[in-house]
Structures are given as structure tokens and as C-alpha cells.
Amino acid sequence: MEKDQCTVDYYYHSWSKRWSTTTRSASRIVTSADNISTFSAATHQRGCRCNWIRMRRRIFAKLCRTTIVIVITLTILVNLIFILEFGYKSKLSFSDEPTSRANISDDGQSYQYLTLEIVSSQSRAAVSVDGAMMIDDNEVGKGRGIHVLVLNQRTGAVMARQIFDTYSPHEDEAMSLFVNLVSKGRIIVMTIKDEGSFHLKQPTRDLLQRYGSKNSQILGWRDTWIFVFEKGDNPQLRGVGGRCCEHLGKSSNFLSWGQPLSVTCKVRLSTDQHEEECQWPDTEENQRRREFCSRVEGYGSVCDCHQPTPITFQPSPIPNNQIRNVPVAIIASDRPRYLYRMLRSLLRVGGANKEMMTVFIDGYYEEPMQVVRLFGLKGIQHKPLGIKNARISQHYKASLSTLFKQHPDSRHAILVEEDLDVAPDFFHYFSQLVHLLDEDPTLYCVSAWNDHGYQHSAVNATLLYRVDTMPGLGWMLTRKLFKEELETLWPTQDKMWDWDMWMRKPSVRRDRECVIPDVPRTYHFGASGLNMNSFFQDTYFRKRALNNQADVQLHDIENMKAINYERVVETAVSNATVLDHTISPCEESFIPNVTGETFVVYMKMEHARDTITWLQIAKCFKIWDLDARGSHKGLWRFYLKNNSIVVVGVPFSPYSKFKPTKLNPIELHSTVTTRKSN
């Protein structure tokens, strides 16, 4: 019985053990199956996630590519529209002839007539020719004066358009000159915006009267006025249907304007067979002339049929020419008559090389480019960037960048603006000085301009100075300076800075100086521009000096190197006669009535920006007094009464050491002069 019980226990335990083992195995199998299922699900989930990520990446890449394509396409379209728009405007301005031309029978003959619609008012001047708007100026604060439009008498095509601000001085003289330069037979349209009579002097009124005006003598303050005439020996208006081509709206009082005028005038086109094109010889020069004269007007004898003025020159060579391969950039805008005058001046100068000249035009203006082609020069038009001063600054940068790219082997460049006349030795001057820029690292530029070079203050054409401001107005620089410094630092188009004022900043100039002449080699004649008007030109530029001698041999060129120049200046100051400091510099007797002497003046100047006294002295001497320019370490040099004058700022200038101990430097505050001890 006990044995049986043991057997039963044995089988029981064996069965329990096997059951337990089986149960655990089954449990492991189930767990394993669950794990496999979980792993498969996780693997599937990760695979889906990877596929989704890859899909998102592909979608993102496609979107990026699509966006880039759209941006590039839009950029191309915008540029095409811009180019086409300028081309269309240029075509309208210079080559389009009005299309809706009226044919009217008169005395048994059929004539063609232009229909002119003209507006004159306080706020607008407008002229349309057969429905095509040629002038439409309604911008506030701009366009004051007499608007002039010149039309071809046979085709009605626009030949020229000008604005003369005859409210300002000398603009009437410019208008008279322009009318006199227009070819005979042309149709001239005049209309006033705002005010156009204040400086309309008698000679101009008489000229208008000779061309048929009945109102030029009574044109008054703020009157509105429209005048259309044909220029000729016996000028007459060609009116049709009782319409008059001169209208006047009188101002009732000083504070009001004349009534706005809106006039339609029909002008008969010429059928004169004798007004054919000039029969110039068929030369390359005359081909350029013929193309020019068929498109623009107001350049006088350039288009004369019998004695046309030359447009090709044979400049004489200069001795030992060191700038034969130095490129020249002519900086231009939409002032074609300034450009014409400047190029005639430049191309006749000894050493001029047309092949090295490029005219850079700020904007897509047709008439300046016609002037460039007239003289057979290269012209490049830049797309304007920025506005006002920033636009001018970007134009200079783009011009210099392009010039050095055109001439990769050139180590120097010369810049000259469109509103400058140049001296007969302009290129000879730079040729003698170009080596200094390579040999003296303390030099910044060589300039043809002298800020204090007036007719009464500049007399020695062989004399040179070093100054710590950048004068501009005809200057030379090195490729190294521009490419390694200026180009990368140049102000961006959002900076409303004058480019030349920026170049004068101490952080840009870095204590370097420019070489300038005593007698300037350029003359500023432009009376209109962003920062210029006829009053400013008349006050500060009209009486400037300009050298008129050819091939002037400069003296002591090597003394322009820094170390040598210090010795020259110290000798000049130490040997100079001290002027009587008890007399005001504004008194005529301050400078003795002698000639050929060197005089020195010591004035109060605490630091570089302490220029109050200097500006008052400059005003007394009638030289540049708007800001402090043209100095060398607090010292100024110029001529008065044919005597060399040296002005030393005390104690700022290192040359103060030559001041007599007991001498009190001059100190001026506006109109008050006081003297204080050191």
C-alpha cells in the first residue's frame, strides 16, 4: 500500500512537472508570438515613417526647385519689362512720329497738320502731339519754369525737350542760347509751370518777340503762358480754324496764379522741298553726324549744312606720355548738352586717346547716348540703383567696377564728370604725377581740382599741394585702392551718402592725402543737378580759375612725397612774414599791397573739427567757406594779391611751433574778431 502510494506520488509529481514545463513552454511560445507580432508591427510602423519622411523630402525638394524656377522666371520677366519700357519711352521721345495726322485742304492744296494739346498751370505743364504725350510734368516741387519742346517741321518727331527754371538767375540766358542753337524751321513749343518770369530779362523777352510773341513783354509774376512758333528768318505762327498759338493767363495778384490754360493748336507741317537733308560727303564722321542730326536738336552748327563744326579731332601728343593706356571714365546722366560740351573739351586736349575712354550713363536715356555716338566713343548705360545721392554713389561704383573689368591690365584710372571743362594740359598733368601713386603709399589720389582755386587765389600753374581731403572733379586713383578697399566698403544703395563725402571719412581715407594743383585743371560749369542750381553755381563756381596753357611742366614733383613735402612746408612757414594780427582778415589792408611775398597767418584751432575761425577767414578771402577743405595738417596754402598765403591752425597744426611766442592767434566768431593768448 505504501509502495502504491509512492508510485502514485511519483506519477503525480512527474505529471505536474511535465505540465508545468509544458505550460511554461506554451507561455514562452505565446510570449514569443506576441513579441514577433509586436516586432512586426513596429517594423511596419518604422517602414511607414521612413517612407513618409522620404516622401516629404521629395515633395520639399520639388517645391524648392519649383520656387527657384518661378523666381528666376519672374526676374527675367521683370527685367524684360523694364528694358522694353525704357525702349518704348526712348522710342516715343526720339523716333516716333505722331500717327493720327490731319489732312486739311487750304487754297486748293492738301496739307498735313499736327494737333498740339498744351497745358500751362501752377501745378502742371503738358504737351501732346497728335495724341501722344510728350511732356506731362505734374510732380510737386519740380519742373518750375518754361518747358520747351522742339519738333521736326516735316515729320512732327520730337527733337528735343528742355526745362528752364527762369525763376532762377541765368536760366533765361540758357534758354536764349538753346533757342539760338535750334535749326531754322523747327517748331518750338513753350509752356510755363508754376512761375517762369522772375528772371526773364529783357534780351530774352526781345528774342521771343522777334519770333512772333505778342505777350513776352508783359509776361509777369505767376502768369500762365503758352507759345508755339516756327523758328526762321521771318517767323510766323501757322494757325488753323481761328485757333491762336499763343495764350496768356494773367495773375490777378501777388499770391495767386494765372488761370490754368488748356489749348489745342494745329500747326501745319512743312512741304518745302528745299528742306531736305544736308548733302554732306559720305564719310564715317558724317554718317555719325547725319544719324545724330536726324534725331536730336539744339546743338547749333553740328548740323549746319554748309559749315558743320568738327566732331573728329587730332589731339597733339604729350611729351613722355605715361598714361597712354590709362582708361578714362566719363560719368554722365541725363544732361546731354553738358556731356556734349564736356566731350568737345576733353577730346581736343593733348594726349587724348578715344580708345581708352568710356562714357557711363546713369539710366537708359537716349539723347546722351546719341551724343556719345556722335563722337564715336564707347557708351555704357547702367540700370539706376537707389535714389538721389545713393543713386549717384552707386553709379560711380558701377562705373569704376566696369572700367577696371574692361581694362584688366590697367593699374590706374581717371574719372571726369560730364559738367566739367578741362584744361589744355589735363592729360599732361596726370602723366607727370601718375608715378607718385605707385611710389608713395601715403597718397590717396591725384586731383585736377583745387577747392580754393579761384581767379583771385590761384596763380601758379606749376605749383602743387598735398591736401587731406579728396577733391574729386577730375581725379586719378589706383586699381589697388579701389579693388582692395573701396569696392568692398562702398556704401550700399540704401545709404543716402555722397560718395565723395564718404571717401573723405577718416576711416576710409586713413590719413592718406591727395596731390592737387594751385591752378585747377578742371572747371565746373553745370548749373543744374541734384545738388546744384544756378545760384549755387554763380556763387561758388563761376569765378573759378582754369589753366589755359598747354604742356605746363610742373615744378618739384618729387617734393609731393610725404617726407619731402614736410621740409617744403616747414621752410615756407619758418621763412614767411607774419601778417599784422591786430587787423581783421576781412579788411582790405590785411594783405599788404605788394607782390611775390609769402605771408603767414596764425589762427585759433583746438582740434581737427574746430574750423569756426577758418570758415570765417575763408569767407573774408572769398574762397570755399561751406566746410573745411584743402588743408594739410591744419595748414592752408593759396594766393592773394599775387602773394603766397599760409594759414596755420594753433595749437592743432604741428606747424604751430613756428608761431612767435607773444603773438595771439586770430579767433573769429561769425562777424566778431577777438584775440586770445595761447
- What is the distance between the alpha carbons of residues 393 and 385, in angstroms, rounded to a whole number? 9
627 included as an active-site residue: no
Cα–Cα distances in Å, from 35 out to 38, 344, 378, 561? Answer: 5, 96, 83, 91
- What is the distance between the alpha carbons of residues 483 and 412, in angstroms, rounded to a whole number? 11
- What is the distance between the alpha carbons of residues 363 and 392, in angstroms, rounded to a whole number? 11
Sheet architecture: strand order including 145-151: 158-164, 145-151, 187-193, 224-230, 246-249
Strand-strand pairing, 635-640 and 643-651: antiparallel
Amino acid symbol at 373? R
Half-sphere exposure of 420 (CA within 13 A, CB side): 26
**Residue closest to 230 by CA, chosen among 239, 218, 219, 217:** 239
Conformation bin of residue 455: beta by default, left when phi > 0, alpha when psi is -120 to 50: alpha
Q: Which of 137, 419, 425, 468 is catalytic?
A: 419
Amino acid symbol at 506? P
Question: 467: helix, coil or strand?
Answer: strand
- What is the distance between the alpha carbons of residues 80 and 243, in angstroms, rounded to a whole number? 43
- What is the distance between the alpha carbons of residues 627 and 470, in angstroms, rounded to a whole number? 13
Taking 3-state DSSP, the helix, strand and coil percentages for the chain, each rounded to the nearest 5, stand at 35, 20, 40
Identify any residues that bridge with 265 across adjacent strands, giving them in sequence order.
116
Strand-strand pairing, 109-120 and 125-129: antiparallel
Secondary structure (DSSP) of 412-462: EEEEEETTEEE-TTHHHHHHHHHHHHHH-TTEEEEES--TT-BTTT---TT
Rg (CA), the chain: 39
Q: Which of 96, 500, 538, 610 is catalytic?
A: 500
Question: Is 120 in contact with 226 (CB distance < 8 Å)?
Answer: yes
Amino acid symbol at 548? N
Contacts for 613 with CB less than 8 Å, ≥ 6 apart:
603, 604, 605, 649, 666, 667, 668
DSSP category for residue 469:
S
- What is the distance between the alpha carbons of residues 195 and 616, in angstroms, rounded to a whole number? 36
Question: 545: helix, coil or strand?
Answer: coil
Identify any residues that bridge with 651 across adjacent strands, giving them in sequence order.
605
Amino acid symbol at 376? G
Question: Is 606 in contact with 652 (CB distance < 8 Å)?
Answer: yes
Burial 552-569 (b: 16+ CB within 10 A, else e): bebeebeebbeeebbeeb
Helical pair 366-374 and 336-347, crossing angle rounded to 10 deg: 20
Q: Which residue do the cell numbers 579701389 mark?
A: 482
Question: Is 126 in contact with 146 (CB distance < 8 Å)?
Answer: no
Residue 548 burial (C-beta neighbours within 10 Å; 0-12, 13-18, 19+): exposed
- What is the distance between the alpha carbons of residues 333 and 336, in angstroms, rounded to a whole number? 8
194 included as an active-site residue: no
Helix (H) or strand (E) holding 268: strand 261-268
**Residue closest to 357 by CA, chosen among 338, 342, 337:** 342
How many CB atoms are closer than 10 A to CB 652? 19
Q: What is the set of active-site residues?
A: 419, 500
